[in-house]
Amino acid sequence: MGRIIYKKAIVVSNEIEPSEEYKRPQKVIRNPFEMAKQQIDIVAKEMRLDKNITKYLKRVERSLIVSIPVVMDNGELEVFEGYRAQHSTVRGPGKGGIRFSPNVCLDEVKALATWMTWKNSLLNLPLGGAKGGVCVDPRKLSLGELERLTRRYTAEIINIIGPDIDIPAPDVGTDKRIMAWIMDVYSMQKGRSVPGVVTGKPIEIGGSVGRESATGMGLYYVLDALYKKMNLALKGSSIVVQGFGNVGGTIARILYEKGAKIIAISDISGGLYDNKGLDIKKLSEWVDQNHFLKDYREENYEFIPNDKLLNIDCDVLIPAAIENQITLDNADNINCGIILEGANGPTTPEADEILRERGIIVVPDILANAGGVCVSYFEYIQDIHSYFWKLDRINQELEGIMVNTFSEVYDLSLKKNTTLRTAAYIIAVSRLARAIELRGIFP
């Protein structure tokens, strides 16, 4: 075994200033957990929430930092840092994805866990909010290294996950194969097969049909419901999508098939633009083979960087990559009628205010991208009952929940003359506050 390399996590928080050496390579825009807390303050003021409850909601119940030693293929040991944060388990076990990304830090995971609490409460699912992550670029690992990293991370967090405690799922940089390894480690430790410990698994080991496309399907149901309220037609609408992974790729394919014009799409390598509309089917096949959009060539397609993509004139902008994309720096230049938040936390509270003043409708993440956790919940139920549903039932139940939740949020936003985000937060926070009141504070 060779040199031990310790990969220190990049910490971006108000309290701890990271040393120069470990600062994020790209510009730090906002600490996402500070953003999540600011969102709670905004809604607490709007609904005159009890100050003690507000104080309680701005803290995560539990967060764990773990070191993950991995023997690399070259025989050297690398030690990565991983996290799992549970914001609230008041309404049920924690639920939320696991992210493998070089930018993951504790505050990012805490923010994502907080947003999961609101999302699950908004959908009225009997679940709390959690999230996890490992500070690693999974694309730089071999398959064997990725498996060893996943198995050791699972072993490190095993005492705080489980079907009754906290149920992880895929997120940025993780997929069903990784969920299968997590389920295997957990099951080996328990001495029996426990499929309910994670969702987003392969169908062969207790996964659900429709889970992979669920977030994109949910985005579509919500956008369709909004379009109906506004008497608009999706066919021919111009759409811009940032991110071409699970969420961005699925919604782009659905809208393309429904006759909308996807005029621009991007991944981390950059984007492609054609005002007449891109061939999403061809681009999906390309990305399946070549991973990135950057080398794709087609006569009329213009290659554009991600920051330019966000300013393109369109009917609907769908940020479906990462958080902190629409900020004070670019909110004035956003050129769309509707923003449908596929990613978690793509818009900062300051940018939100500018968009509101400019009359741009923002469908907030906790509503728009909730289809994923909704079908994860269906998967969890199916695992518990060992009885699996057909795709028609999944999509029908998903549509029912997404459209009803959208209507509830939309109606409240009209009644209170507020944004969809504030209305969604009022519903989610009220439900959780009521649960806290009913349970009381232990002891």
**In this complex, which beta carbon is closest to ligand NAD, that of residue 226 or of residue 265?**
265
* Structure tokens that stand for 328 in this block: 């004070």
Tokens 């947003």 sit on residue: 115
Contact region for ligand NAD (CB under 6 A) — 155-163, 188-196, 237-245, 399-407?
Answer: 237-245
405 binds ligand NAD (CB under 6 A): no
Measured between alpha carbons, how far is 362 from 367 in angstroms, rounded to an integer? 10
* The one-letter amino acid at 65: I
Alpha-carbon torsion (120, 121, 127, 129), positive or negative? positive
How far apart are the C-alpha atoms of 30 and 273, rounded to whole Å? Answer: 28
By CB under 6 A, name the one of 92, 170, 195, 210 that touches ligand NAD: 170
Beta bridge partners of 362: 339
For residue 321, the minimal CB distance to ligand NAD (Å) is 3
Q: Considering only the stretches 177-185, 315-323, 392-400, 403-411, report the one whose residues sit in contact with ligand NAD under the rule CB under 6 A.
A: 315-323
Length of the chain: 443
Tell me which of 43, 44, 141, 172 binds ligand NAD, using CB under 6 A: 172
Q: Does 321 bind ligand NAD (CB under 6 A)?
A: yes
Phi first, then psi: give them for residue 377, nearest 5 degrees.
Answer: -65, -40
**238 or 246: whose CB is closer to ligand NAD?**
246
According to the binding rule CB under 6 A, does residue 324 interact with ligand NAD? no
Question: Which one among 306, 327, 418, 430 touches ligand NAD, defined by CB under 6 A?
Answer: 306
Q: Is 193 in the site for ligand NAD (CB under 6 A)?
A: no
- Reading the block at residue 10, the tokens are 């990049």
Q: Is residue 129 a contact point for ligand NAD (CB under 6 A)?
A: no
Distance of closest approach, residue 344 Cβ to ligand NAD, in angstroms: 4
Among 107, 171, 352, 379, binds ligand NAD (CB under 6 A): 171
Residue 246 interacts with ligand NAD (CB under 6 A)?
Answer: yes
User: Could you say whether residue 344 binds ligand NAD (CB under 6 A)?
Assistant: yes
Which of 82, 132, 342, 364 binds ligand NAD (CB under 6 A)? It is 342
Q: Is 363 in the site for ligand NAD (CB under 6 A)?
A: no
Instruction: State both tokens at 178.
Output: 């990784």
Alpha-carbon span 397 to 147, nearest angstrom: 34
CA angle (221 as vertex; 218, 222 as ends), nearest 5: 90
Phi, psi of 148 (to 5 degrees): -65, -40
Measured distance CA(8)–CA(265) in Å, rounded: 33
Nearer to ligand NAD, 246 or 422 (CB): 246
Task: Give whole-number Cα distances, 143 to 86, 139, 175, in Å.
Answer: 29, 9, 13
Does position 340 interact with ligand NAD (CB under 6 A)? The reply is: no
Minimum Å gap between C-beta 6 and ligand NAD is 25
**What is the C-alpha separation between 398 and 376, in angstroms, rounded?**
11
382 binds ligand NAD (CB under 6 A): no
Instruction: Rule CB under 6 A: choose which of 86, 120, 237, 242 binds ligand NAD.
Output: 242
Q: Tell me the CB-side half-sphere exposure of residue 52, using CA atoms within 13 A.
A: 5
Q: Is 168 in the site for ligand NAD (CB under 6 A)?
A: no
Which of residues 322, 351, 354, 367 is near ligand NAD by CB under 6 A? 322
Q: What is the distance of C-alpha 282 from the center of its chain?
A: 26
Q: How far is the CB of 333 from ligand NAD (least distance, A)?
A: 17
255-274: which residues touch ligand NAD (CB under 6 A)? 266-268
Size of the site for ligand NAD (CB under 6 A): 24
415 is catalytic: no
CA 183 to centroid of chain Cα atoms:
21
Give me the torsion for CA of 347, 353, 357, 361, rounded to 10°. Answer: 40
Q: Which of 12, 219, 320, 336 binds ligand NAD (CB under 6 A)?
A: 320
- DSSP string covering 19-36, please? PGGGS-SSPP---HHHHH
* Structural contact between residues 244 and 342, judged by C-beta atoms closer than 8 angstroms: no
The minimum distance between CB 79 and ligand NAD, in angstroms, equals 24
If the CB atoms of residues 86 and 246 are measured against ligand NAD, the closer one turns out to be: 246
- Token pair recorded at residue 398: 């998903």
Tell me how far apart the alpha carbons of residues 395 and 378 are, in angstroms, rounded to a whole number.
11
Q: 131, 176, 201, 261: which is the annotated catalytic residue?
A: 131
| 120 binds ligand NAD per the rule CB under 6 A | no
Question: How far is residue 368's CA from residue 215's CA, in Å, rounded to a whole number?
Answer: 8
Q: Are 135 and 62 in contact (CB under 8 A)?
A: no
Q: Which is nearer to ligand NAD, 196 or 248 (CB)?
A: 248
For residues 54 and 382, which CB has a smaller minimum distance to ligand NAD in the complex?
A: 382
Q: Which two tokens stand for residue 118?
A: 């609101």
Q: Looking at 239, 243, 262, 317, which residue binds ligand NAD (CB under 6 A)?
A: 243
Active-site residue set: 131
Instruction: Catalog residues that contact ligand NAD under the rule CB under 6 A.
Output: 170-173, 215, 242-248, 266-268, 306, 320-322, 342-344, 369, 372
